[in-house]
Structure 1
Amino acid sequence: MSPDMPAKAGRLDHLRLTLREFPPLIWSFLYFFFLLTGYYVLRPVRDAMGASADVQAVFPAALVRWASERGWDLGGLTLQLLFTGTFVAMLLLQPVYGALVSRFPRRVFLPVLYLLFIVCLIGFHLLFEREAPGRGAAFFIWVAVFNLFAVSVFWSFMADIYSDPEARRLYGFIAAGGTVGGFTGPSLTSLLVGQVGVANLLLVSAVLLGLCVVCILRLGRWARLRETERGWRGAEQAMGGSVLAGLRLLRDEPLLRAMAVVMFFGVGVGTLLYNEQAAIARAFFPEDGDRTAYYASIDLAINLVTILVQLFVTRPLLVRFGVKPALLIPAFAILGGFALLSASPLPMLVAVVQVLTRAGEFSLAKPARETIYTRVGREIRYKGKAVVDTAVYRFGDLFFVWSHKALAVFGSSLVFGVGALVAAGLGLGAFRLVREQARLPADPDRR
C-alpha cells in the first residue's frame, strides 16, 4: 500500500459522507429559507401596524372607546400593549401546542401546524382587504406568535433528524438558509407591495409556507428511512404525556432552566439596545431618509457578517471546540459593547454593537444552542424547547420593553449601564448552560 493511501481513503470517506448528507442538507436549507422568507415578507407589514398612528386600525373599536372615555392615549402605549398581548397569547397557546405534539406523531403535527398558519394568513388577507378595525393588533400578535413557534418547531425537527456530530457539521449551513431568507423576504415586499398591495402580500407568505410543508414531507421520508436503519425507536409515534409538560420540564430540568436564563437575558440586551437605538436615531437623524439609511446600513452589515460567519466559522468552531466558544464569545462581545455604550452612546458605536449582538446570536449562539437539543429526549426537544423559545422569550420582551420605558427618562448612559448588567447575566447564563450540556450523554437514546 502506498503511503498516501490512508489520506486518499480518508478523503473518499469524507466525500461519501458529504454526498450522503447533501439531499437532506439541501431540503433543510430550503425549509429554513422558505420559512424566513415568508416571515420577512410579513415583518414590514407587522412593523407598520405597530408604528401606525391610526389607533382604529390597530386596536378593536370597543377598546378604543373604552380608553377614550377614561382619557387614555392608546397611541402612546401601542408597542407596550402589543408586547403584553403577545405574551398572553403565548401562554394561552402553550396547552394547544402541547396537545398537538402529545397526541399526534411528527409526520402529522408538523404539516398540520403549518397548514394552520396558512389558514390564518388567508383569514388576515380578508381582514386587510376589508380594512377591519383592530386588524393591526391581531396581526402584530399573530406574526410574533407564528415566528417563534414556527422557528422553534423547525429547530426541534432538525434536532430530531440529525445527530449531535451531524448538527455540528451542518447547522451553520442550515442557518445560512434563514439568513438568505432574511435578504429575500424584505426584497420581495419592497418589489411587490406597490403592485399587489399589503393584503396580497399575506398570500405570498402563505405560498412560501406551503413550500415549507413540501420540505417537511421530503425530510420526513428521508428521516423515517434512516431511523429504521439505525434502530432509533419511537420517532414516528405520538409522544403522549401532559399538554403542559413543557412547563413542568422547565421547572424540573436544569438544562432547560439554563436555556431559559440565556434566553431571558439575551432578549433583554436585544430589547434594550433596539429601543434605545430608536431614540438615539431620532435625535441624531431627524430626517426620515437619513434615519432609514442608518437602519438599512445596520441590517446590511448584520446579514453580511452573519452569513460569512455561518459559512466559514460556525462549522469548524462547533466541530473542533464544541458549543462552549460559540456560546461565550457573543456573550462577552455584548458585555464589552454595552460597557462602551454606557460611556459613549454615539450612533456609530450603537450600530457596531447592534451588528455584534445580532450577528453573534444568529451565526454562533443560536446554532450552538440548537445542537444541544440533539442530545436530549423528544419531549424536551419539542415541548420544553417550545416553552423556552416562546413563553420565556416573550416574557423577556414584555419585561424589558416596560423596563426601557422607565429607564429611558434618565438617559442613554443609564440604559446601557443597566444593559451591561443584563449582558453580564447573559454571560453567567451561558457559563451555566455550558456546564449543564457537558453532563448530557454523547449518544442519547433518541426516543
Structure 2
Amino acid sequence: MSSADEHHASAGRAARFRAALAESPPLLWSFLYFFCLLSGYYVLRPVREAMAASSDVEAVFPPALIAFFAERGVALGEFTLQFIFTAVFLIMLLLQPVYGWLVSRFARRVFLPVIYGFFIVTLLLFHAMFDSGVAGRGLAFILWITVFNLFAVAVFWSFMADVYSNIEAKKYYGYIGAAGTIGAFLGPILTRSLVERVGIPNMMLVSAVLLTVCVACILRLRRYAVLREAERRQVSGEKPMGGEVLAGLKLVLKEPLLRWLALMVVLGVGVGTLLYNEQNRIARTAFASAEERAAFFSTLDLAVNSLTLVVQLFVTRALMSRFGIAPALLIPGAAIIFGFSILSASPLPLMVAIVQVVTRASEFSLAKPARETIYTRVGREWRYKAGAAIDTVIYRGGDLTFVWVHKALSAFGSNVVFGAGLLIASAMTFSAWRLLKEEAKLPSERAPRPATPEAVRSR
C-alpha cells in the first residue's frame, strides 16, 4: 500500500471515529471510564505479579501462617500460587452474596459508587501497609487486587449494557475496549518509569486517583442509562432490582446460554492458568529482585496491550458489525489451539511468552467484547447478578481447579502441561460454538420508542 493509500485509510478510520462520537455522546465518558479503570489496575498488576513470583516467602505471607504450615511439614513457598488461588476463591464465595445483596437492595446510583469507593479506601490502607513494611502485605495485596480486577471490570461491562443497545454494542465496544487498552498501556509505563524512583507504596496513590475519575464518569453516564431505559420502556436501573442475593448463580444453573457462557469462561481460565504458572516459574528463577520481576511483567503487559490495541482499532468493530459475534468468539479459540500445539511439541520459554501474549490479547480484544454484547439483550439480573457470578465465583473456581491441575501435571514436564492445555483449548472452542447456538435463540432487539423528557426526568 502506498503512503497516499495509507493516509487515506487512516483518515477514513479517524472520520468513522469522529462520527461515532457525534452520534453517541456517552462514548467519550465510557472511554474515560475504561481508560482510567484499566490504567489504575495495570499500575498495580506488575506489583502483584512481582509479589506472586517472589522467592522471599516472608514478603508474601504473614509469619504466623508460615509457622502454621511449617509445623505440619509444609513449605508454604512451594505452594504460593495454589494457596493464593484457593484463598481468592473462598473470598469470592463470601463476597458473592454481599454483592448480590448490594445490587438487589440499592439503586444503580448507589451501588456503583459504593463499590469503587470501597476500592479507593482500601488502596489508601495498602499505601500505609507497604510504606511501613507490614509482614504479609504481599498476600493481602494479591488477594485484594484479584478481587478488584474481577468485580470492578464486571461492574463496568454490566453498566455499559445499561447504556448501549445491542446494535450500539457491536459498533462501539471495540472502541471502548481500545480506550481501556490505551489505559492499560499507560499503567505499566507509569510503573516501569516510577516504581524504582518513588517506590511501590506511592503507586497505590496513583491508582486511587484514577479510580476517583471512574466514579465521576459513572455519575455522568448514569443519565444516558436512564435515557436508554426510558426509550425502551424498560424497568429503571435507578430503582433497586430486588430478587435473591444468590440469583446470579441460580440463573447460571438454570439457563443453557449462561451455562455454556460459564463453561467457556472456565475453560478459558484453564488455558490462561497453565500459561500463567509456567510464566511465574520462569520469572522466579530468572530474576532476583521484586523490582526486576515487576519490570519484566510490565514489559509483557505492554506486548499484550500493543497487540490488543491493534486488533481493537482495526478488526473488532468491523468484524462484529459485519459478521456478528461468532468470529470474535471462534478466532481466539483457533489461535490458542495453534499456540498450544506448538508448546506441547516445543515448550521454549520465549514461545511461552509469545503464546501468553496472543492468548491474553485475543481474549481482551475479541472474546470479551463479543461475550459482553450478549448482555445487552437480556434483563438486569442476568447482567448484574449472573454476569458478575460468572466473572467472579465461577471464574475463580476455574482458577482454583486448574492451578491444582497444573501442580499435578507439572511433575511430568512442560510437554504434558501444554498437551493438556491443547485439549482444554479445544473444549473451550466447542463451548463457544454451543454458546452461539443459544445466543441465536434470544429475541431480536426491538426498535425503541422515543421517550419524553418528562419520562426521563421522572426516573
Q: TM-score with structure 2 length normalisation?
A: 0.88
What is the CA distance between 1:443 and its match in structure 2?
Answer: 1.5
What is the CA distance between 1:51 and its match in structure 2?
Answer: 2.6
User: Aligned equivalents of 2:301 and 2:107: distance in 1?
Assistant: 39
Describe how 1:166-177 pairs up with structure 2 within 5 A: 166-177=168-179
Write the deviation string for residues 153-193 of structure 1: whole angstroms up to 9, x where unpaired: 00000011100000000000100112111111111122232
Matched position secondary structure for 1:133: coil
Q: Which runs of 5+ in 1 are unaligned?
A: 1-13
| Partner in structure 2 of residue 398 of structure 1 | 400
| Partner in structure 2 of residue 334 of structure 1 | 336
Q: Decide whether aligned partners of structure 1 residues 420 and 47 sit closer, same or farther in structure 2, where only a CA change above 3 A counts.
A: same
The match for 2:167 among 165, 168, 180 is 165
Describe how 1:144-223 pairs up with structure 2 within 5 A: 144-223=146-225
1:31–1:212 contact (8 Å) kept in structure 2: yes
What is the CA distance between 1:194 and its match in structure 2?
Answer: 3.3
| Partner in structure 1 of residue 380 of structure 2 | 378
| Partner in structure 2 of residue 426 of structure 1 | 428
Q: Decide whether aligned partners of structure 1 residues 324 and 227 sit closer, same or farther in structure 2, where only a CA change above 3 A counts.
A: same
What is the CA distance between 1:125 and its match in structure 2?
Answer: 1.8
The match for 2:270 among 268, 271, 296 is 268
Write the deviation string for residues 375-410 of structure 1: whole angstroms up to 9, x where unpaired: 110001000000100111111111111111111121
User: Aligned equivalents of 1:268 and 1:368: distance in 2?
Assistant: 19
Write the deviation string for residues 79-131 of structure 1: whole angstroms up to 9, x where unpaired: 21111111110110000000010001111110111011111111222222222
User: Aligned equivalents of 2:144 and 2:293: distance in 1?
Assistant: 28
2:230–2:236 contact (8 Å) kept in structure 1: no
Q: Decide whether aligned partners of structure 1 residues 351 and 52 sit closer, same or farther in structure 2, where only a CA change above 3 A counts.
A: closer
Write the deviation string for residues 325-349 of structure 1: whole angstroms up to 9, x where unpaired: 1101111111122122212223443
| Partner in structure 1 of residue 250 of structure 2 | 248
The match for 1:114 among 90, 113, 116 is 116
User: Aligned equivalents of 1:319 and 1:374: distance in 2?
Assistant: 15
1:32–1:174 contact (8 Å) kept in structure 2: yes
Matched position secondary structure for 2:386: helix
| Partner in structure 1 of residue 239 of structure 2 | 237
What is the CA distance between 1:280 and its match in structure 2?
Answer: 5.9
| Partner in structure 2 of residue 439 of structure 1 | 441
Matched position secondary structure for 2:347: coil
Answer with 199-208 or 422-431: which moved more.
199-208
Opposite residue 115 of structure 1, the aligned amino acid is G
Opposite residue 257 of structure 1, the aligned amino acid is R
| Partner in structure 2 of residue 54 of structure 1 | 56
2:98–2:245 contact (8 Å) kept in structure 1: yes
2:154–2:391 contact (8 Å) kept in structure 1: yes
User: Aligned equivalents of 1:164 and 1:303: distance in 2?
Assistant: 26
Q: Decide whether aligned partners of structure 1 residues 65 and 295 sit closer, same or farther in structure 2, where only a CA change above 3 A counts.
A: closer
| Equivalent residues, number | 433
Q: Decide whether aligned partners of structure 1 residues 87 and 282 sit closer, same or farther in structure 2, where only a CA change above 3 A counts.
A: closer
| Partner in structure 1 of residue 11 of structure 2 | none
1:375–1:444 contact (8 Å) kept in structure 2: no
Matched position secondary structure for 2:25: helix
Answer with 139-148 or 269-278: which moved more.
269-278
User: Aligned equivalents of 2:332 and 2:300: distance in 1?
Assistant: 18
Percent sequence identity over aligned pairs: 62
2:89–2:393 contact (8 Å) kept in structure 1: yes
Write the deviation string for residues 50-94 of structure 1: whole angstroms up to 9, x where unpaired: 233333332233222222323321111112111111111011000
Q: Decide whether aligned partners of structure 1 residues 293 and 147 sit closer, same or farther in structure 2, where only a CA change above 3 A counts.
A: closer
1:313 paired with 2:315, answer: yes
Matched position secondary structure for 2:239: coil
| Partner in structure 1 of residue 31 of structure 2 | 29
Q: Decide whether aligned partners of structure 1 residues 235 and 406 sit closer, same or farther in structure 2, where only a CA change above 3 A counts.
A: same
User: Aligned equivalents of 1:15 and 1:61: distance in 2?
Assistant: 54
Write the deviation string for residues 244-274 of structure 1: whole angstroms up to 9, x where unpaired: 1111111111111111111110011111122
Q: Decide whether aligned partners of structure 1 residues 37 and 219 sit closer, same or farther in structure 2, where only a CA change above 3 A counts.
A: same
Q: Decide whether aligned partners of structure 1 residues 60 and 242 sit closer, same or farther in structure 2, where only a CA change above 3 A counts.
A: same
User: Aligned equivalents of 2:58 and 2:65: distance in 1?
Assistant: 9
| Partner in structure 2 of residue 81 of structure 1 | 83
Answer with 357-366 or 118-127: which moved more.
118-127
1:168–1:319 contact (8 Å) kept in structure 2: yes
1:376–1:444 contact (8 Å) kept in structure 2: no
Write the deviation string for residues 190-239 of structure 1: whole angstroms up to 9, x where unpaired: 22323432222112111111000001011112322343344333222111
User: Aligned equivalents of 2:148 and 2:348: distance in 1?
Assistant: 35
| Partner in structure 2 of residue 7 of structure 1 | none
1:377–1:445 contact (8 Å) kept in structure 2: no
User: Aligned equivalents of 2:294 and 2:110: distance in 1?
Assistant: 43
Q: Decide whether aligned partners of structure 1 residues 191 and 291 sit closer, same or farther in structure 2, where only a CA change above 3 A counts.
A: closer
2:53–2:280 contact (8 Å) kept in structure 1: no
2:303–2:357 contact (8 Å) kept in structure 1: yes
Answer with 233-242 or 431-440: which moved more.
233-242
